[in-house]
Structure formats: structure tokens, C-alpha cells
A and B are shown apart, each in its own frame.
Chain A
Amino acid sequence: MKKLLLLPILFLLCSCEEQGELTKDRFNVTPATQDASLKYHGIFVPTSGISVTGEARIYLENNQYKVQLEGFSISEGPDLKVYLSKAATPSDFVSLGNLTSATVYTIPQGINILDYSYVLIHCQEYNHLFAVSKLIQN
């Protein structure tokens, strides 16, 4: 019987995560270089109960648009995403991926940048908007 009680403890000991080749230091979108052209920018404004600093900048470099977060920090959230959005709410958007320690996010080819006026930080798991950056043309 005592052996049986050890089983759940063994399970707990096995509870772990180890990074692999696809989850190791792969935040590899390079920041904008001096050749990049700053097209849009906007300061982040928090929603209720959230604190945020910094701004979103959109650069064009080698025919590729990138969103770069400058001087950025935000309250902790469980599942934060970076959205390029047509509105100040996450109703019509393109997801650029998880908000991580990366500061640069590639905008998919084929997106008409003129249609999108906001960068949003949104918690997908709890459907809670954290911060909004209204983009201004440079």
C-alpha cells in the first residue's frame, strides 16, 4: 500500500519542462537596422488595472514590415499576444505571436499595413485586453 502512495509523488517529481531545439533561444527576428525606415509609431496606453510603458514602432526593411517594441514593459499576464489590429479592440486583427522577451515581430506578407491602425497586447486565455498603441504615420 505504501508503494502505491508513492506513485502520485513520482508523478509530481516527473512534472517538468525542458527546452528543445525549437524552444531554445529562437527569438531570432533581428531588430531594425539603420537601413530600416520607420513608418508608424504609437505609445502604449494601458487598460484598467494594467501598467505599461513604451511604444510600438513599425519599420519597413527589405520589403518586410516589422513591429518593434521600444522601451517596453507590461504587467504580468498568463498568455499575452501581440496583435496588429484594425480597431482598438481585438475584433479584426492579425496575431503576430506570443509576447515574449523578443521585441521584434514580423508582419506576414500580404497584409495591407494601411488597414491596421493599432498594436494591441491581449491576453488570449482570459480574453482580456492589456494595452493599446494607436499608430501614427511617421
Chain B
Amino acid sequence: MRKLLYIMLIVLATTNSYAQGCSDAGICSIGNNFSASGKVLKNNVEFSVIFGKGEGDVSYFSNYISYTRKINDKISWSSKVTFSSASGSFGKRSAFGDAFLIGKYTFAAKDNKQWSILLGSKIPFTTSNLKINGFSLPLDYQSSLGTFDLLLATNFKYKKWDFNSAIQIPVFNNNKNSYFEEFSGTDDFLSTNLFERKSDALFRATYSINTKNQKFTFKPNVLFIYHLSEDSFENIYGKRENIIGSEGLTINGNLISTPVGCN
């Protein structure tokens, strides 16, 4: 690697990544790989550690490693692999989650304004049916939702502002989760047996602030996620049920800091 940027992203006050509206690392982080450091390099490797709190007493580390390559001034692509570890009353479960492949086309900048478009896919490594000791686990403990997704996004950059809009569409559902609230011994989690996820739409506004010594970039941002319709699951009678309240808007606030080093 001629130029390799190694970044550890520490996300503070991060989103509740498994909450309503934010299905996983997909739509919530789309576009980050292309612009996290603020520097434009031909090859870029990132390793991210995100700590979050889920439903009930679940806490998790959601990590990813990604590689981004800039082909030329207009075209770049990024691949990413996620890994997560969740802990709580059910125990601890860690596994690889999803692989992402995203391509980006950037239009020429004009008057400090620049548009780009992204097209990508998400491929799950699991069927969202990880178990502990033979017990089925709720989605908070699953490293992936088990869906093959299409990701479409646009980005508009104006001076220090970044605006993203995106949509994540599950095109093939391979979710085989078998968690039933009835058999679990807790009512902290809803049943998600054979869960079916619906699409998400996202809008994010980010403002970049560089420290005076140029060693850190802070990116406060606000994220609006609209879950376009209600998710569903199959109940103990084999009948499909909608999850009431799973449709709707979620608003998240994030602060991303990026200490940057080169080797």
C-alpha cells in the first residue's frame, strides 16, 4: 500500500443502532467510508469500534473494517465487513455480521458545491438465528438481520456541510430468526420469529470542524431515519403479525471524532 490511512473512529453519543428505523450498520453509516478522514487518499483502510446500548440490558460493540479505493477523481469504491458482540441477560454472542460493497461517482465541484451518488449492496453472513445453548436470541443479539439489501444514496457537499439522503431496500429476506417472547423468560424483547424487515429512508446533515492543529476532525451530525412500513414476524400459530409501531421516524444525534495517522 503506497498510502494507507489508518483511522480509528470513536463514535460518541452514538445511535441506538438496532432501534426502530436504523436496521444495522448499513444505512446509518452509508457514505462514511468515503469521507470519514477528510483527506483524499488512493487507498484507505478504516477500523471502527462503536459501543452502544440496545433494548433491555443489552450492550454491544459493533465493529467494522473497511477498504476504500479511489480509482480516479470521479470513481471510488468501498468494501466493508462488520463484526459485533452483544452482551446481556441472554449471555454474550459475537459473530461477523454483513459485507458491504459500495461504489461512488462524484461529479465535478462547482462554486464549493459537489454532488455524488452511491450504489451498493449488503450481504449477510448469518441468517439472524444465532443461538446460545440452544436458546433462540432476539435481534439485539444478532450480528446481522439476514437480508440482502440494495443501497442507493446521494450526497451534496457545500463548504463544511455534508447532506446525505439514502434508501436501504431489502431485496431478499433470508432472516431465519426463531426468537419468541413466549419462550424466553423476559418481556424485554418482542418476538421476531422469521422477521421481515421493510425499507429505510435516511437524511443526514453533517458539519465538519477541524481542530487548530489539524489532527482531529469533529463531525456533529443529525440523522433522520424513516422506516417506510411495519416489520412483521410469524407468531406461534404460524400466522404473520405486523410489529405495531415499527413504522415511522427516528431522529439520532451523533458526534464523530477522527484522530488521523498515516503509515
| Chain B residues in the interface with A (C-beta under 8 A) | 1, 4, 6, 45, 47, 63, 65, 81, 83, 85, 87-96, 127, 129-136, 176, 178, 180, 182-186, 193-194, 236-238, 263
Q: A11-B96, A124-B176 are in contact. Are A93 and B90 (CB under 8 A)?
A: no
Apart from A23-B135, A100-B135, 8 more pairs, CB < 8 Å:
A11-B96, A16-B92, A21-B89, A26-B135, A79-B129, A95-B236, A98-B135, A100-B134
Could you tell me the distance between the alpha carbons of A134 and B184 in the complex, rounded to whole angstroms?
28
**Bound CA span A94–B239, Å:** 10
| A1-B1, A11-B63, A14-B83 as given contacts; A24 in contact with B133, CB under 8 Å | yes
Q: How far is it, in angstroms, between the C-alpha of A14 and the C-alpha of B92 when the chains are bound?
A: 11
Q: Are B185 and A92 in contact, with the CB atoms below 8 A?
A: no
Say yes or no: A94 contacts B183, CB within 8 Å: no
User: How many inter-chain contacts with C-beta < 8 Å in the A-B complex?
Assistant: 100
Q: Is A90 an interface residue (CB 8 A)?
A: yes
Minimal Cβ-Cβ distance residue in B for A11: B83
- Whether the pair B83, A22 counts as a contact (CB closer than 8 A) is no
Q: Known A17-B91, A90-B238, A95-B238; judge A101-B176 contact (CB<8 A).
A: no
Q: Is the CB of A124 within 8 A of B180?
A: no
Instruction: Choose one: A1, A17, A92, A101; the contact of B263 (CB below 8 Å).
Output: A1
How many chain A residues sit at the interface, stated as a range, is 20 to 34
| In the bound complex, CA of A21 to CA of B184 (Å) | 11
Distance, CA A81 to CA B176, complexed state (A)? 13
Q: A: which residues have CB within 8 A of B?
A: 1, 3-4, 7-8, 11, 14-24, 26, 79, 81, 90-95, 97-98, 100-101, 108, 124-125
